[in-house]
Amino acid sequence: MSAPLQGVIAILRGVAPAEVLAVGHALVAGGIRIIEVPLNSPEPFDSISRLAREFGGQLLIGAGTVLTPAEVDRVADAGGRLVLAPNFDAAVVRQGRARGLLTMPGVATPSEGFQALAAGADALKLFPAEMLGPPVLKSWRAVFPQATPMFAVGGIGLHNLAAFKAAGASGVGTGSSLYAPGTAVAELTPRARALVAGWAAA
């Protein structure tokens, strides 16, 4: 990827293929450049494929809740370029690397984080961030390689963006504060714009 792995990840948990392009266009208009479709959404690989065809050269399209190497393969085949997980599984990370994908496993302890990096992870997902909090991330920054992208995910919104950025987050992943099934498409662009502006100003 030419651009650094940083900024706001839009997590579209529950999105359906029929609406995903309209949602994607609304998010792009609000400044979002990374979109994640969790695999526990309806027909997620269809949604990833549609997004990849529409925005492949413009956005980083990824999949979340990727739990097995077989799912990594399906993400790659659908055109996704990033795999995220709530946990660290070395086999998932290795398969992601084998398929040329960026990998961001979920970690909650330094031990998990260092193991993930040793397995080849491209970034670390502090999860659940709202429970771990900015002080944990700040402490990690003191011991992990400084170039390691670290994202705060879980309970992220306008109310805590600045605290996590000040603690050293490279970016954040936000779901329900941006998108939930049934959200009007017209609401997405202003929500996305507020989050992107909030992150930039933090």
**192 touches 178 (CB < 8 A):** yes
Give the separation between CA 90 and CA 97, rounded to whole angstroms.
Answer: 11
Per the annotation, the verdict on 125 as an active-site residue is yes
Q: Which domains are seen in the chain, by residue range?
A: 7-201 (3.20.20.70)
Structure token digits, residue 27: 């998010």
Mean of the per-residue pLDDT values of the chain: 96
The predicted-structure confidence for 44-62, as pLDDT tens digits, reads as follows: 999 999 999 999 889 999 9
pTM of the model: 0.95
Per the annotation, the verdict on 36 as an active-site residue is yes
Give the separation between CA 91 and CA 95, rounded to whole angstroms.
Answer: 6
Say yes or no to pLDDT of 4 above 80: no
Q: What is the dihedral of CA 95, 32, 9, 4, to 10 degrees?
A: 60
Say yes or no to pLDDT of 168 above 50: yes
Q: What's residue 99's pLDDT?
A: 98
Spot the catalytic one: 125, 130, 138, 187: 125
